[in-house]
Amino acid sequence: MAHVWVGLTEVSKSEGCELDFNGAAAFVWWATQADSEEGFVSKLGDALKHYKLVLRELNEMRRVEDANSVPEELRDMVDRARQDANWVLFGTFFIYPHYAA
């Protein structure tokens, strides 16, 4: 049985990315149903390719037992991810303007 997983990523744009965020990169939360960590990473990879994003780092990843166990900002994403096993949802892009040298 699939559970909802959430992960915090650091991403940057690749050629052809049409998402509207300015800056060199951004942190963003993702939520989807998966059977395991590997399943979550696989679905995340597919979503990143679709949106033409480059994964710089997967900072945090966990299975959600109860929507109340995640920060309030993620609860809607978790609830929506439970509605369809095919959805890979993302939250707000928290950008930073440039890379450190």
Q: What is the pLDDT along the chain (101 residues), one digit of tens a residue?
A: 689 999 999 999 999 999 888 878 899 999 999 999 999 999 999 999 999 999 999 999 999 987 778 888 899 999 999 999 999 999 988 887 665 54
Within a domain: 101: no
Within a domain: 18: yes
Full domain range(s) for residue 9: 3-96
The Cα–Cα gap between 43 and 3 comes to: 13
Q: What is the pTM of this model?
A: 0.89
Within a domain: 38: yes
Identify the H or E element spanning 38: helix 37-51
